[in-house]
Structure 1
Amino acid sequence: MTTLTKRSRRTEAPTSTESRGHEEEEEQKSRATDEEEDGDSKTLRLTLMEEILLLGLKDKEGYTSFWNDCISSGLRAAMLVELALRGRIQLQPQSMRRKKLSERSVMLKSDAPTGDVLLDETLKHIKNTEPAETVASWIDLLTGETWNPLKMYFQLPQVRERLAKSLVEKGVLTTGKQNFVLFDMTTHPLVNEKEKERLLQRLQASLLDRWTNEPHRLPRRALALLVLAHGSDVLERSLTSLPDDRYEIASRRAKDMLEGDIEQQSAKATTPAEEVIWAVLAALNRA
Structure 2
Amino acid sequence: MTGVPLAEELLLLAYDDETGKATLPRISLDLGMAAAVLIELALAGRIAYSDGALTAVDPTPTGEPVIDDVLTRIVADTPHSPSSWVQRLRHGLRERILGDLCEQGVIESVDETELGFIRVHRYPVVDPSVEEETRQRLAVVLTGAAPDERTAALATLVAVLRMESALGITGEDADAARNRLEEIASGAGFSGEVSLDDSVVRPSVALVVAALGRAVEQALGPRP
Query: What TM-score, normalized by structure 1, do the two folds share?
Result: 0.66
Once residues 106 and 67 of structure 1 are traced to their aligned partners in structure 2, the CA distance between those partners, rounded to angstroms, is 26
Choose which of 187, 196, 216 in structure 1 pairs with 2:131: 196
Q: Distance in 1 between matches of 2:162 and 2:173?
A: 20
The change in CA–CA distance for 1:53 and 1:225 in structure 2 (over 3 A counts) is same
Q: Deviations over 1:6-39 (max 9, x none)?
A: xxxxxxxxxxxxxxxxxxxxx4xxx3xxxxxxxx
What displacement does 1:256 show? 4.5
What's the counterpart of residue 252 of structure 1? Answer: 179
Return the offset for 1:167: 1.1
Tell me if the contact between 2:32 and 2:157 (Cα under 8 Å) persists in the aligned partners: yes
Return the alpha-carbon distance in structure 1 between the equivalents of residues 184 and 217 of structure 2: 12
What is the distance in 1 between the residues matched to 2:103 and 2:185? 33
In 2: Cα distance, 1:226 partner to 1:52 partner: 10
The AA in structure 2 aligned to 1:168 is: C
Query: Which amino acid in 2 is paired with 1:175?
Result: S
How far the C-alpha of 1:179 sits from its partner, in A, is 1.8
- Bigger RCO of structures 1 and 2 (CA < 8 A, at least 6 apart): 1
Q: CA deviation at 1:282?
A: 1.7
Selected match of 2:105 from 140, 165, 171: 171
2:218 aligned with 1:283: no
User: Kindly tell me: are residues 162 and 69 of structure 1, through their superposed partners in 2, closer, same or farther at Cα, counting changes over 3 Å?
Assistant: same
Once the two structures are superposed, the pairs formed by residues 83-122 of structure 1 within 5 Å of their partners are 83-92=41-50, 104-122=52-70
Contact 1:88 1:112 in 2 (8 A): yes
| Number of aligned positions between the proteins | 213
Shift of 1:164: 1.4
Q: Does 1:77 align with 2:22?
A: no
Secondary structure at 2:35's aligned position in 1?
Answer: helix
1:15-69: CA deviation from partner (whole Å, max 9, x where unpaired): xxxxxxxxxxxx4xxx3xxxxxxxxxxxxx4211111111111111212136453
- Which structure 2 residue ranges, 5 or more long, are not aligned? none
Q: Normalising by structure 2, what TM-score? A: 0.82
| Shift in CA distance, 186/68, structure 1 to aligned 2, threshold 3 Å | closer
Secondary structure of 1:264's aligned partner = coil
The match for 1:139 among 76, 86, 102 is 86
Tell me: CA distance 1:266–1:238, structure 2 relative to 1, closer, same or farther (3 Å): farther
Q: 1:210 Cα deviation (Å)? A: 1.3
Q: 1:259 to 1:239 in 2, by over 3 A?
A: farther
Structure 1 CA distance, aligned partners of 2:140 and 2:168? Answer: 10
Distance 1:73 1:274, change over 3 A: same
Query: In 1, are the aligned partners of 2:8 and 2:97 still within 8 Å (CA)?
Result: yes
Q: Does 1:273 align with 2:200?
A: no
Q: Give the share of equivalent positions with the same residue, in percent.
A: 25
User: Structure 1 residues 235 and 247 mapped into 2: Cα distance closer, same or farther (>3 Å)?
Assistant: closer
Of structures 1 and 2, the larger Rg is shown by 1
| 2:167 aligned partner | 238
Partner-residue secondary structure (3-state), 2:55: strand
Once the 2 structures are TM-superposed, how far is the Cα of residue 187 of structure 1 from its aligned partner?
1.9
Mean CA deviation greater in 54-63 or 160-169: 160-169
In the alignment, the residues of structure 1 paired with residue 14 and residue 98 of structure 2 have an alpha-carbon distance, to the nearest angstrom, of 11
The change in CA–CA distance for 1:266 and 1:53 in structure 2 (over 3 A counts) is farther
Distance 1:56 1:113 in 2: 28
2:161–2:217 CA contact under 8 A, matched in 1: no
What displacement does 1:257 show?
A: 5.0
Q: Deviations over 1:239-266 (max 9, x none)?
A: 428xx88656433322445599923246
Q: What is the CA–CA distance in structure 2 between the aligned matches of 1:122 and 1:161, rounded to whole Å?
A: 15
Q: Is the 8 A contact 1:90 1:272 kept in 2?
A: yes
Q: What CA distance in whole angstroms lies between the structure 2 residues aligned with 1:266 and 1:77?
A: 23
